[in-house]
Structure 1
Amino acid sequence: MQLVNPATYEVDLEANRARLEELRKVVGDAERVALLLQDDPDPDGIASAIALRTVLGRNRSTTPIFTFGQVTRAENLAMIRLLDVSVEPVDTETLRAFPRVALLDVQPAYFGDRLPHVHIVIDHHPRCGPLDAEFCDVRTHYGATSTILTEYLEAAGADVSQRLATALLYGIKSDTLMLNRETGPADLRAFMALYPLTNYNVLRRIERPELPLAFATFLARVLPRIRKRSELLTLHVGRVEREDVIPQLADFCMQFENTEWVVVSGKTHDAVIMSVRNPGYVRSAGDVVRRLFAAIGRAGGHRSMAKAIVPLRFWRHAFGSTRDREIAATIESLFWQELYGEGSEPERATA
């Protein structure tokens, strides 16, 4: 295998310019375009939305950034505060009023029947359902959607502000785990192009946000619940007020010795939420959660990271109990049997 120098990695500018022309035709003369992100927007989605706004030559009023949920993770809250980004809550009826809806870093299947219509999809995740949109650019070999939008900016010859460069750089860093996870030459090239334009002081403040002291108490309470079985580590933390602690704990638990798979789960008022991690050279985490939970919830992700959300009513129907102790045991059993094939045939979730 030959070494690849990202500085010499050639982007197909003509292809990107053709995509931009197609994108602009889809937008047309629409007065307003809704930029829709996942329910708990992450830096990659937020940065991509800001960049698309720039590519289209729009402003905040004509291209508002929406989510059905809210930004919860401390780093992401710091990002929108320090970079002055507005992410507004939205409902289905509000979206119906927009002549164009664009999805960034997410796909239509994620939203189910909450999404009335969609015209644009730009994403890097594996396809998780039909892409019924007039414009689709899904590049699964890219580590971040921010990389795609960086190429759009280059193709458009747009001026990239320090604020936008900082957002895109952080979007790439966060989605590739500081360039350590599912990173390709295109991501490295985009990173190198953005780096000289970035505000490093702001970036440091985003990456090291203040955490409430209560988080230490939470860790002391839940870490003793870790269940370790060979190279599989599972942790069910019970009810959580903020679901962002679940992926944070999943990333943290991957650091424990002799661990290849991590599943951290928690319970909100209406769902069981799971974050799955692995080092990237074993089975695809996204494939595993889809096999186990796609029939009763939303499930998907990448090779090394994935997420599943199962409504409590469907969990109860499939597995019989939503008590925390039973949830913890069920999750350990499901993943152990799915990953290592030992014991009885893994229980399949069906609604």
Structure 2
Amino acid sequence: MEPDGGATLLAWMRRMRNERPVWRDESGNAHVFRHADVMRVLGDPGLYSSDTVGRLGGDTPSGVLLLLDPPQHGKLRRLVSRAFTSRLISELTPQITTVTRELLDAADGERFDLVDAVANPLPVMVIATMLGVPLEHQAKFQAWGAQLLATDAADPESVRRMEQTGEEISAYLQKFVDARRSTPHDDLIGTLVQAEVDGQRLSDDEIVSFATLLLLAGHITTSVLLGNILLCLDSAPERWEALRADRSGIPALIEETLRCRPPFTRVERVPTQEVEIGGEVIAPNTLIHLWLLSANHDERVFDDPAAFVPERSNSRQAAFGYGIHYCIGAPLARLESRIVLELMLDRFRSVRVDAGSPLSFHGSNVFGAEQLPLVVQRG
């Protein structure tokens, strides 16, 4: 991402799509860049396993939804879906609106940092409330998220800190699971404790794992998406005034942002047998990096993919994945983003990224700004 916010990365991906659509890095891992190949792998969980941890030499942590294959994945997803429903998400609209107003009220003056003021605190506060976790602990969640984002897989000390952070999160959330098992409660953890399908219920590990996924992945996804929306609008400032006059374009603008700047650059899979992708033969148990960002910029699917065009059809964009592992929190991220954008449109005549302040960007797999200083005109 540094120093140009992703322009160099996107140029590299364009070259790879055309010249090396399936590429082997120095470690022997495979990288897949074209939309058709990425979607084919994501759509075949039998041939391409999500259990990258277990198949590459470790033990799959119990209850980690992202790492499970059928049939275990289907069982856990059905149980979680009993609690994490579309109705639950839609009923959050008043709370998200209230919290966003309060956060924007606190952002005084003509300059503020979107990440610090809104994008980081909002999703943590919303998810903490959903789970039944005290709001005063939100700083703890953000610190945990920052620690996991900073993990360097090649640095043993960094990996050790990541593992320690995971243990801290699990121990913290287990207390709430224990409390809900002894005294029923109507928050999300309480509902997960009671969720049942065909006589089966979630284990403590599965509940803690899903709650952790929401707190961390849910926080990061919405935070980065909000920043990316403002980055995209900064490249097309005339659209701000158009949206102030007609809010019906907000959903399409969010989808085009997800296509242009998805929160995560890639996901991983491992083939269960020898496969061929793009003419490249790949042995079983080879780590495959599926570049969602590259798929979303594939010229074979999207005309002039570098252009920010909310009017285009984005039904094939892959920001939230595809198939059985399609992001369960996608509706929440979309809802939070829509509400924040609507409320910002209500109070700001214009919003621009502060050209006088240097931008810093996440590393690793997260495609977005760590800080996003804005200059606004109120009224």
Normalising by structure 2, what TM-score?
Answer: 0.27
Q: Which has the higher helix share?
A: 2
Normalising by structure 1, what TM-score?
Answer: 0.28
Q: Which has the higher strand share?
A: 1
